[in-house]
Chains A and B, each alone.
Chain A
Amino acid sequence: MLLYVLRRLGTGLVLAVLVTLITFLLLAPSFDGIAGNRLGPAATPEAVRALKAELGFDRPLPVQYLDWLVHAARGDLGTSLFTGEPVAHTILQRFGVTMSIVVVALLVTVVISVALGVLAASRGGAVDRVAQGASLAGNLFPSLLLAIVLVYVLSVRGDLLPATGFTPLSADPLRWAGSITIPVIALVATGIAGLTAQVRGTMVDELRKDYVRTLRTRGLSARSVVLRHALRNAAGPALTVLSFEFISMLGGALVIESIFAIAGFGGYAFESSLQGDVPAIMGITLFAVLLVVTVNLAVDLVNGWLNPKARIF
């Protein structure tokens, strides 16, 4: 088990190297443009050359990449080409902001999706259709519009919640809760549909399995059969979908971040890649790879625990 985890993490590191290397090679053709970008419209070729030299962009690519890798291994991801901020610091700070929104959104999504999915699967009929419909409310009523309406009602007219901005949890839990409420609602609205469909589908499958009938014949309550047994067995595939949703929410929080003027991870990734902020892109890529590796490992471990038969270790 420990060996398995270590092996997976080792694999993750190799992946990180590969992915960052590919990213680096994809960025390399844009180095001239990036230097030019930093210099503005009146940049002369000499200035571009000088800046490239200053940034080390003129060295052979393998040297540049290895240099980056060695520094990254020591935790030094360099400084942003544009803001001059240490990349590692910015990533952690921005990630913390987005995580504190996404984690809450994810929890709410899970609770609602599991409730709707289980209800739809175990009740069937009209309840099923209503529950499926409810999970799609977010699709039909776009989260953007939802966000704007909520901002108008709760912030502009109601003065109850802030319209923009973010307060860190550590600074003031109450204001933190206030600042993430509308963003979370907007994120949840878009995330529910997929997860509900998955929970419903696997629950329908589980509930038709033989062991469910047998458990019922032993006098177990429907509640226990559905929630303790069937749901646990259905949790595996749902968890996989959830992990995708988590990863996509991190990036997808971008739009919400920008509408609420929250400096989050999605915005950082988007802005950096648009500007061609090489150290930031490399750092974000590395961070994202390690994050995905960790999340996948966690999902596989939990899946193995939930369903020992599907254990791949």
Chain B
Amino acid sequence: MTASTAPQDAVRRRSAARRLLRDPQAVITASVLLLIVVLGLLAPVLTSHDPNHASLDHIDAGAGTDGYPLGGDRSGRDIWARLLHSINTSTVSALIGASIALVIGVSAGLVGGYHDRLRSLTEWVFSLVMTFPGLLLLIVLMPLTGGDFRTTMAIFGVLLSPGVYRITRNQVLGVKNELFVDAARVSGLSDRRILVRHVLPAVRGPVIIATAFLCGSSIGVQSGLAFLGVGPATTPSFGAMISEGFHNLYLSPLQFVWPSLVLGALTSCLVLFGNALRDALEGSRRRPAGIPAPKAPAATGAAPAGLLAVEDLTIAYPTPSGELKEVVSGVSLVLEPGETLGLVGESGSGKTQTAFAVLGVLPSEAVVVRGSIRLDGRELLGLKESELRGLRGRAIAYVPQEPMSNLDPSFTVGAQLVEGVRAASGASRGEARRRVLALLERVGIPDPERAFRSRPHEISGGMAQRVLIAGAVACRPALLIADEPTTALDVTVQAEILDLLRDLREEMDMAVLLVTHDFGVVADVCDRVAVMRTGEIVETGTAEKIFGGAEHDYTRMLLDSILDENTVRGDAPVAADEPLGRTTTW
């Protein structure tokens, strides 16, 4: 898995840049920022006046006075020239303040968050920096800085760094113990590589917003100090201009408006651009939620038989270039009550997307192009979220692949299960609690009371998967969708979990849609099998038939790989019951 991340990262980054270019918010704010910065750089060309040239003939001159496009200020200086030069002051302030804060904060945050032993040292240093009362310090230091804004901003950058440090450190702490770092660690990667490869990307989002914020604060503080009159009058600054304009508010309000406007545009665009950049890097959806209704239900008349009937289901995602790319194409499935259907395919074959479509939890940028999904004859596509909610938990339930990430880390196991039971069945709190405890016992958890009180990070992966199964079957759903329920688990645990699923299916008479890439699992529990490749079903049949004599080459190829795969899996260097795996994306 580690070997594949590098090219994936590169792809992700490239597509992030493309996404950014396609986001009007990013494009507009970046253009405004660029425009402002360029205006500042072109100041010597765009104005003939020195920003400090005070002409008695242009005191409070109106806009458009000869050679003074925006008029003169209270000393008769060219407001246009001062505005342009103030941009440069702000740009330099942002660059100095933000870069110093970032370099110090991020590097120390990574080190301090990752290395438990170094953390006490970094905590110490940053507590010291953080506790300095900034404004006071900047003023007390004036004799040393001479009020020069560059020195002041450098000091301010140091003062800002604890914020970056804390955000980084918190993120690192949050992700450090997550699976992929553990996995990376056992696979023998160096700390530095883990930090750069795995931890840094996780930290990136919050730090990027923070960067926009840091630039904004540096500009803000520089202007603020200038507004208060700290620093030389000869440095053109929005703060000084706003202060002077504010003073002249009753005489010529525009003097106040110009710098406020540019400063406001600058800081606002920084925030908006930071948001957009962050969305692009993290691949946030930009479309409204809600699953669009299919164009036309394919059902032509006779309602198909079965508990679940999927017909001609086609799901697509918009590509950065704006076209739709199909990830599921014309999939049709039928699942009878009590039956177990194995949906088999390699990752990326569209099986998880199909399962999500049935659950109604496709990512919001997904588009259901056409098709129909019926549960007990009722069309699910196009149902409102509230209508779907009535079905979830009771009629359809879901067991995810990755046990740890599917539990809310902040709530105890019991609390989140109780909430689900109550949402699906309307049971009272006490009743729901009794049911959850009974279920926990049923799914084979040795000390249900203790598990009930535990938080997700306090239980093992196998136990977490049992908890998730308990959560799914709590309200005796008619259909259970299990998405690779054992893939993330250790081999010995895999078998137990499969046994549990089989027992529960019989006990509750559930139909099970088992999404898996593993024919071993299929052989264990499935009545029928549907094989998917690149979004299409290539072969369907009973388990006996598929194992007996698969017709499709692809199926045969998959079958052939069972043996190899099991060998690989068995050798995986994973401590017993330690979760390993990765979340598949569709």
Interface presence of A202 (CB below 8 A): yes
Q: B246 contacts the other chain (Cβ, under 8 Å)?
A: yes
B282 adjacent to A144 (CB under 8 Å): no
How many residues on the A side are at the interface (Cβ–Cβ under 8 A)?
89
- What per-residue 1/0 map shows which CB atoms of A257-280 lie under 8 Å from chain B? 000000000100110011000000
Q: What 1/0 flags go to B415-444 for Cβ under 8 Å of A? A: 010011001100000000000000000000
Report whether A310 and B170 are in contact in the complex, using a CB–CB cutoff of 8 Å.
Answer: yes
* Chain B residue with the shortest CB-CB distance to A297: B127
B268 touches A210 (CB 8 A): no
Interface size class of B (residues with CB under 8 A): 35 or more
Interface centre among B136, B143, B288, B385 (most CB of A within 10 A): B136
Q: Is B242 close to A, CB under 8 A?
A: yes
Residues of A within 8 A of B410 (CB): 229, 232-233, 306-308
Once the chains bind, are B423 and A224 in contact (CB under 8 Å)? yes
What's the minimum C-beta distance from B473 to chain A, rounded to whole angstroms?
A: 11
Chain B residue nearest to A202 (CB atoms) is: B206
Q: Are B398 and A214 in contact (CB under 8 A)?
A: yes
Tell me which residues from 205 to 227 in chain A have a Cβ below 8 Å from any Cβ of chain B: 205, 208-211, 213-222, 224
Q: Is B260 an interface residue (CB 8 A)?
A: yes
CB distance from B450 to the nearest CB of A (A): 16
**How would you classify the secondary structure of chain B's contact residues: helix, strand, loop or mixed?**
helix
Q: How far is the CA of A267 from the CA of B125 in the complex (A)?
A: 29
B357-374 interface mask toward A, CB cutoff 8 Å, 1 = contact, 0 = none? 001010110000000000
Contact A211 B405 (CB under 8 A): yes
A250 CB to closest chain B CB (Å) equals 9
Residues of A within 8 A of B85 (CB): none
Q: Is the CB of B409 within 8 A of A197?
A: no
Chain B residues with a Cβ under 8 A of chain A: 25, 119, 124, 127-128, 130-137, 139-141, 143-144, 163, 166-167, 170-171, 173-174, 177, 205-206, 209, 212-213, 216-217, 224, 227-228, 242, 246, 249, 256, 260-261, 263-265, 267-268, 271-272, 274-275, 278-279, 282, 284-289, 356, 359, 361, 363-364, 385, 389-394, 396-398, 400, 402, 405-411, 416, 419-420, 423-424, 455, 457, 468, 471-472, 474-475, 583
The 12 sampled A-B contact pairs (Cβ below 8 Å) are A11-B124, A15-B127, A135-B271, A205-B205, A213-B356, A217-B361, A220-B419, A240-B163, A269-B135, A269-B136, A293-B131, A296-B127
Leading 7 A-B pairs by shortest Cβ distance:
A218-B420, A219-B393, A217-B398, A288-B133, A219-B424, A125-B288, A273-B139
- Residues of chain A touching chain B, judged by Cβ–Cβ distance below 8 Å, are 11-12, 15-16, 18-19, 22-23, 26-27, 29-30, 122-129, 132-133, 135-136, 139-142, 144-145, 148, 193-194, 197-198, 200-202, 204-205, 208-211, 213-222, 224, 228-229, 232-233, 236-237, 240-241, 244, 248, 251-252, 254-255, 266, 269-270, 273-274, 281, 284-285, 288-289, 292-293, 296, 303, 306-310, 312
